[in-house]
Structure 1
Amino acid sequence: MVFGVILAGGIGSRMGNVEKPKQYLKVGDKPIIIHTIEKFIVHDAFAKLIVLCPKPWVENTKKLVDKYLGEMASQVVVLEGGSSRNETIMNSIRYIESEYGLDDDTLIVTHDSVRPFLTYRIIEENIKYGIKYGAVDTVIPATDTIVESQGGDVISSVPDRSKMYQGQTPQTFKAKKLKDLYESLTDDEKEILTDASKIFVIKGEKVYLVQGEVFNIKITYPYDLRVAESLIQDQKKK
Structure 2
Amino acid sequence: MTTSIAAILVAAGRGERAGHTTEGPKQYQSIGGRAVLAHTVALFGSHPRIDRIVVVIHADDRDLCARALGERADGLEIVIGGAERQISVCRGLDALAAAGTGPDLVLIHDAVRPFVDTATIDRVIDAAATNGGAIPAVAIADTIKRANSDRSIAETVPRKGLYGAQTPQGFRFAAIRSAHRDAASSGRSDFTDDASIAEWAGLAVTLVEGSSGNVKLTTREDIVAANDRLKETLPMTAPQIDVRTGNGYDVHRLVAGDHVTLCGVRIPHDQTLDGHSDADVGLHALTDALLATCGAGDIGDHFPPSDPQWKGAASHIFVEKAVEIVAARGGRIMNADISLICEAPKIAPHREAMREAIARMTGLSMDRVSVKATTNETIGFVGRREGIAAIATASVVYGEAQ
**1:12-51 correspondence to structure 2 within 5 Å:** 12-19=15-22, 20-51=24-55
Counterpart AA for 2:113: R
CA distance, structure 2, for counterparts of residue 187 and residue 50 of structure 1: 23
Deviations 1:101-131 (A, max 9, x none): 13xx621111111111110101111111111
Contact 2:20 2:26 (8 Å CA) reproduced: no
Contact 1:58 1:79 (8 Å CA) reproduced: no
CA distance, structure 2, for counterparts of residue 80 and residue 177 of structure 1: 22
Counterpart AA for 1:16: G
Deviations 1:45-87 (A, max 9, x none): 22211111101112431343234x3xxx433121111221121
1:4 maps onto 2:7 in alignment: yes
- 1:179 corresponds in structure 2 to 177
**SS of the residue 1:194 aligns to:** coil
Contact 1:122 1:211 (8 Å CA) reproduced: yes
Aligned residues: 232
Contact 2:19 2:25 (8 Å CA) reproduced: no
Structure 1: which 5+ runs fail to align?
Answer: none
CA distance, structure 1, for counterparts of residue 227 and residue 233 of structure 2: 10
Contact 2:137 2:165 (8 Å CA) reproduced: yes
**CA shift in 2, pair 1:29/1:200, >3 Å:** same
Contact 1:7 1:110 (8 Å CA) reproduced: yes
**SS of the residue 2:98 aligns to:** helix
Larger radius of gyration: 2
CA distance, structure 1, for counterparts of residue 190 and residue 7 of structure 2: 25
**1:205-216 correspondence to structure 2 within 5 Å:** 205-216=203-214
- 1:192 paired residue among 190, 198, 217: 190
- 2:284 corresponds in structure 1 to none
CA positional deviation for 1:216: 1.0
- 1:58 corresponds in structure 2 to 62
Deviations 1:198-227 (A, max 9, x none): 112223332111211111111111111121
Contact 2:146 2:154 (8 Å CA) reproduced: yes
Deviations 1:145-166 (A, max 9, x none): 1122464644444332121111
CA distance, structure 1, for counterparts of residue 44 and residue 17 of structure 2: 26
**CA shift in 2, pair 1:78/1:132, >3 Å:** same
Contact 1:139 1:212 (8 Å CA) reproduced: yes
Question: Which structure has more helix as a fraction of its residues?
Answer: 1
**SS of the residue 1:61 aligns to:** helix
**CA shift in 2, pair 1:10/1:207, >3 Å:** same
**SS of the residue 1:213 aligns to:** coil
TM-score after normalising by structure 2: 0.54
- 1:98 corresponds in structure 2 to 98
- 1:136 corresponds in structure 2 to 134
**CA shift in 2, pair 1:188/1:181, >3 Å:** closer
CA distance, structure 1, for counterparts of residue 43 and residue 223 of structure 2: 18
- 2:226 corresponds in structure 1 to 228
**1:57-76 correspondence to structure 2 within 5 Å:** 57-67=61-71, 69=72, 73-76=73-76
Question: Which structure has more strand as a fraction of its residues?
Answer: 2
CA positional deviation for 1:186: 7.0
CA positional deviation for 1:188: 6.8
Counterpart AA for 2:48: D
TM-score after normalising by structure 1: 0.89
**SS of the residue 2:142 aligns to:** coil
- 1:160 paired residue among 158, 161, 171: 158
